[in-house]
């Protein structure tokens, strides 16, 4: 397979969609590794497998409607495999195998049959201490936006998944890209106070537009830099509640076609009426309770 990802929204040809089956028992608070799941467990509202399956089936139907080739990871018994995004990611024709949080490390084996379709020359493995997950990486032509955490408490934070070492290595592999590292606010147990991955606070839609949550960034100057790059009129600003609902985490099939959660009324209205996009709405509220949404459920391999 010839990988090709130059940006976040080019016409999608081939993608991996996560696996909702056999996701195991409800985790305990100690077992959870992101604030949204923590909150969900605390409030006794963890989603049922049947509901996760039905939401992901709706997503798959939309992808198929647009003739996208869909791969699935193999099922690992009693293991959460919904969020394909973090396991690996593609930049241009290279697949980078993430060094994911140890709690999720077993997920990678389930992608072997997909990784094997890529020539070994185009696979990048990172040194063990270079941490990175796909949810922190957004490619946009000459730019590479990477979410990270420079918190002195990095080692103790389960929600800090990408470190400076991984960013330095990516700089060497992609010397022509302008790499923008963004320090994200982190909190392992309070979903209103921290951001798990970059794609929970910022995402790109269309050719030159973005969805952004200002308080997700430690430094206002990082937020301001993004607004300057895209232009104020091209930024859709979201509020605290919308961040909690994971509004930035929609998924583009093409510059003018997005898959969104049908609960995102304000965003969907804006995408259609102001930005002239086709919005495919599906229910995804149950999956959102586990700390990810539509972008997180996918791992794009080929975009036109």
**Binding residues for ligand ARG (CB under 6 A):** 33-34, 37, 83, 85-86, 104, 135, 196-197, 199-200, 290-292, 296
CB-nearer residue toward ligand ARG: 199 or 280? 199
Total residue length of the chain: 304
β-partners of residue 124 are 96
> Three-state SS string across 125-167, please?
ECCCCCCECHHHEEEECCEEEEEECCCCCHHHCCCCCCCHHHH
Closest distance to ligand ARG from the beta carbon of 187 (Å):
13
CB-nearer residue toward ligand ARG: 37 or 268? 37
CB-nearer residue toward ligand ARG: 36 or 209? 36
Q: What are the structure tokens assigned to 232, written together?
A: 């104020």
The residue assigned the tokens 């997909």 is 114
CB-nearer residue toward ligand ARG: 33 or 223? 33
In sequence order, what E strands does 24-142 have? 69-71, 88-91, 94-97, 123-125, 137-140
The residue assigned the tokens 């063990």 is 128
Backbone angles phi, psi at 153, to 5 degrees: -95, 10
Q: Which uninterrupted H or E stretch holds 49? A: helix 49-65
Using alpha carbons, select from 56, 39, 85 the residue that is nearest to residue 287.
56
Of all residues in this chain, which one has the CB nearest to ligand ARG in the complex? 135
Closest distance to ligand ARG from the beta carbon of 291 (Å):
4
CB-nearer residue toward ligand ARG: 10 or 147? 147
Sign of CA dihedral 105, 106, 107, 113: positive
Alpha-carbon span 161 to 134, nearest angstrom = 10
Closest distance to ligand ARG from the beta carbon of 237 (Å):
20
Alpha-carbon span 253 to 273, nearest angstrom = 18
CB-nearer residue toward ligand ARG: 192 or 274? 192
Sign of CA dihedral 261, 88, 67, 3: positive
CB-CB contact of 183 with 144 (8 Å): no
Closest distance to ligand ARG from the beta carbon of 104 (Å):
6
> How are beta strands 69-71 and 88-91 bridged, if at all?
unpaired
Closest distance to ligand ARG from the beta carbon of 157 (Å):
12
CB-nearer residue toward ligand ARG: 34 or 222? 34
Closest distance to ligand ARG from the beta carbon of 276 (Å):
27
Alpha-carbon span 243 to 153, nearest angstrom = 23
Closest distance to ligand ARG from the beta carbon of 199 (Å):
5
CB-nearer residue toward ligand ARG: 255 or 292? 292
Closest distance to ligand ARG from the beta carbon of 160 (Å):
11
């Amino acid at each position: 397979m010839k990988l090709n990802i130059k940006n976040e929204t080019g016409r999608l040809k081939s993608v991996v969609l996560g696996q909702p089956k056999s996701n195991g028992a409800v985790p305990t608070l100690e077992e959870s590794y992101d604030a949204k799941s923590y909150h969900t467990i605390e409030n006794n509202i963890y989603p049922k497998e049947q509901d996760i399956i039905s939401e992901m089936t709706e997503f798959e139907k939309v992808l198929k409607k647009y003739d996208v080739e869909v791969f699935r990871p193999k099922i690992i018994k009693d293991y959460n495999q919904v969020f394909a995004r973090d396991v690996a990611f593609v930049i241009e024709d290279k697949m980078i195998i993430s060094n994911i949080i140890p709690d999720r490390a077993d997920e990678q084996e389930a992608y072997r049959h997909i990784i094997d379709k890529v020539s070994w020359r185009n696979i990048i493995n990172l040194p063990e201490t270079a941490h990175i997950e796909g949810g922190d990486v957004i490619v946009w032509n000459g730019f590479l936006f990477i979410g990270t955490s420079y918190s002195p408490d990095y080692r103790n934070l389960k929600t800090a998944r990408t470190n400076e070492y991984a960013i330095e290595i990516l700089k060497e592999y992609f010397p022509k890209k302008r790499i923008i590292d963004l320090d994200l606010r982190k909190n392992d147990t309070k979903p209103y106070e921290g951001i798990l991955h970059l794609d929970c606070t910022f995402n790109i839609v269309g050719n030159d537009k973005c969805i952004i949550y200002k308080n997700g960034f430690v430094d206002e100057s990082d937020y301001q830099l993004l607004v300057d790059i895209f232009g104020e009129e091209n930024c859709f600003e979201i509020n605290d509640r919308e961040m909690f609902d994971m509004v930035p985490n929609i998924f583009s099939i093409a510059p003018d076609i997005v898959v969104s959660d049908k609960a995102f009324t304000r965003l969907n209205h804006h995408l259609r009426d102001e930005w002239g996009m086709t919005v495919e709405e599906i229910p995804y509220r149950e999956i959102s309770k586990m700390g990810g949404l539509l972008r997180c459920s996918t791992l794009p391999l080929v975009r036109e």
